[in-house]
Amino acid sequence: MNRYMDVHDGFVGVTQTQLEAAHQRDLDVQAGEGVSFDQAWLDPDSGKVFCLSSGPSKEAIMRVHALAGHPTTEVYELRVAVS
Amino acid sequence: MNRYMDVHDGFVGVTQTQLEAAHQRDLDVQAGEGVSFDQAWLDPDSGKVFCLSSGPSKEAIMRVHALAGHPTTEVYELRVAVS
């Protein structure tokens, strides 16, 4: 399993409830792709969303987000991390 | 305290050891600004780095990164989050 960060634009003014609903749509379809969406963060002023996930490939991440109705092509494989 | 994600470009080919050293430079100077850098992730192919932090303002985050030698102006306040 690899770790990924993906980025979405256009979520200006989105609320906590709306982000939770969008995230739930990912959770509803992710098992079919072997993906786990773990955390998501939103800056509602700029409309940027960052999603942290694990899965087998960038393409799997993109397919889950597309199926959930919020496609993105901006996906980064996080081969290095510190905490 | 607010939560932030900031983004850096240009870290192509950077290693685990090098990212740890860069992160340590943040840790060494963050207290003066009331900032806490908590996690950082790197895609060494694209050179993108994502840093998750908490602190009093975007400007404080930018000052710590600048003092540590890796300035960025791309900082997002994460007022909404799900996990």
Phi, psi of A34 (to 5 degrees): 70, 30
CB distance A66 to B7 below 8 Å = no
CB contacts, 8 Å: A78 with chain B: 41-43, 50
Res. A12 pLDDT band, cuts 50 70 90: very high
Given an 8 Å threshold on Cβ–Cβ distance, is A40 in contact with B81? yes
Give B 16-55 residues with CB within 8 A of chain A.
16, 19-20, 23, 38-46, 48, 50, 52
- At residue B68, the 3 state secondary structure works out as coil
Partner-chain residue, chosen from A5, A19, A44, that has the shortest CB–CB distance to B50: A5
Question: What's the pLDDT score for residue B33?
Answer: 97
Output helix, strand, coil percentages for chain B, rounded to the nearest 5. Answer: 35, 35, 30
pLDDT at residue A13, rounded to an integer: 98
Q: How far is B81 from chain A (nearest CA, A)?
A: 4
pTM value? 0.97
> What rounded mean pLDDT belongs to chain A?
98
- Residue A14 — very low, low, confident or very high, per pLDDT cuts 50/70/90? very high
Q: What ipTM does the predicted assembly reach? A: 0.96
| Beta pairing class for B75-77 and B48-55 | unpaired
Per-residue pLDDT at A75: 98
Q: Do A40 and B79 touch (CB under 8 A)?
A: no
Q: How far apart are CA B47 and CA A36, in angstroms?
A: 24
Binned at pLDDT 50, 70 and 90, residue A44 comes out as very high
Share of chain B above pLDDT 70, in %: 100
Q: What is the pLDDT of residue A9?
A: 98
| R_g of chain A computed on alpha carbons | 12
Measured in angstroms, the CA of B29 and the nearest CA of chain A are apart by 16
Confidence of residue B31 (pLDDT cuts 50, 70, 90): very high
Strands (DSSP E) contained in A14-83 are 36-43, 48-55, 75-77, 80-82
